[in-house]
Amino acid sequence: MSGADTGRQLRLGRLPSGLRLLTESDPQASTVAAGFFIASGARHDRPGGQGAAHFLEHLLFKGSERLSAAELNERLDWLGGAHNAFTSQEQTVYHIAGLPEDLPQLLETLRELLNPALREADIAAERGVILEEIAMYASQPGVRVVEAMQAEFWGTHPLGQNILGSPGSVSALDRTALHTQLQQAYAPQNVLLVITGALDEPEVWAWAERELAHWPWPGAALPTAAPAVSPTPSGQVRQLVWPGLERAQGAFAWPGLPSCHPLRAAATVLAELTGGENSRLYWTLLDSGLADSADLGHLDFRDCGSFEGGFSCDPDRAGEVTRLFLDTVAGLHRHPPTPAEVSSAARRLAAETGLRADTPAERLFVLGLENMHQTGERPISPEDLTAEFRAVMSEQVAAVLSACSLTQPSGALLLPAP
């Protein structure tokens, strides 16, 4: 248990079916939120089956054997709460929020969502939707330059797989392949159910033990250990052209730290003071008017991480902005961040974390994503993350710079066609 100082109570445990359940009761809350966090995403798509995790996310809203797509969505609309889903490289998440008196129906609807019928007609219709989505993103210069950067940085690593897949891979996915992916990716060992807000903890746990006793996908879990292959950054910046492009764009990546690394928070602080509000990149490129955007962030995954960032500017200034952007990032080694820079960025991140955790719907994501792979008895709370950021000192940031070289980028530069 934790959270006694705020009145919130956290409880994390494993149900007899193998699923894990995390509840956070909050007597001050006026709403509830719940979500299934699946520890499987695009990196787990089979070779040649890229896009399967995202395809499944779409299909889960097409109904179960008991409910059609129309009936399922009518129920979601009737509940009146916010609901959605997303697929990332390592997670697939289904979430809903609403009123406390509707919690039983919210949970029942979520459970029904995760038992899709996978009807052939629905697969065919949703395939067309996803192919249109792929085409839409392919027409966006910002997406194109980021995809090129990711190819240069990740190489053949599974984290470099496109979440949407390709037209060829999505067209080849049939019901058998999708059903196999569902059985493995949604195995109980991969599933964390998070419920937070105005809830009765004993009632919720009793419901979960009763209603989730027979999980529909008892297959073998997908491997969660680090893959045998490591990222293979090219160390090159690929130059691309786009007819009629109005703004030049650059995207770059450098090696970072994994999510389990003790310096993860310090890496996030380093990225913030370099490419966040009032950062080095802000004063070099935005305040000077050379670029209209410039940023840097730190992404952490189970077995590795990356610093990723980029810019947008007038094509005539692309050369100068590229040089200044990369020199600012590499200059972190020559001119390490000052204690004042570290303190300011750390406090800003702590405040942002706190502001993003004011309501159950917002707390849900911190609780789910931070505890997906938590093996200890004590769950991680948003307040823990806030304290972690506030504790970052210059020494930890210096250690990140010692562990991660930011001098050799892999990336892409997108320019107008001649």
Q: Please report the domains of the chain, with CATH numbers, ordered by start residue.
A: 9-211 (3.30.830.10), 237-416 (3.30.830.10)
What are the tens digits of pLDDT across the range 283-317?
A: 999 999 999 999 999 999 999 999 999 999 999 99
Over residues 361-372, the mean pLDDT reads 95
pLDDT category of residue 324 using cuts at 50, 70 and 90: very high
What are the tens digits of pLDDT across the range 198-211?
A: 999 999 999 999 99
What are the tens digits of pLDDT across the range 81-113?
A: 789 999 999 999 999 999 999 999 999 999 999
The single residue listed with the structure tokens 């610093």 is 307
Q: How far is CA 47 from CA 43, 52, 381, in A?
A: 10, 10, 36
| Residues 6+ positions from 5 with CB-CB distance below 8 Å | none
pTM of the model: 0.93
- Please give the pLDDT value at position 229: 60
pLDDT category of residue 196 using cuts at 50, 70 and 90: very high
What are the tens digits of pLDDT across the range 117-134?
A: 999 999 999 999 999 999
Over residues 378-402, the mean pLDDT reads 96
pLDDT category of residue 220 using cuts at 50, 70 and 90: low
Res 243 pLDDT > 80:
yes
What are the tens digits of pLDDT across the range 259-268?
A: 999 999 999 9
- Please give the pLDDT value at position 225: 44
What are the tens digits of pLDDT across the range 221-241?
A: 555 444 446 788 999 999 999
Task: Sheet with 92-98: list strands edge to edge.
Answer: 9-14, 20-25, 191-197, 32-38, 92-98, 83-87
Over residues 27-34, the mean pLDDT reads 95
- Please give the pLDDT value at position 230: 72
Q: How far is CA 34 from CA 29, 196, 255, in A?
A: 14, 6, 34
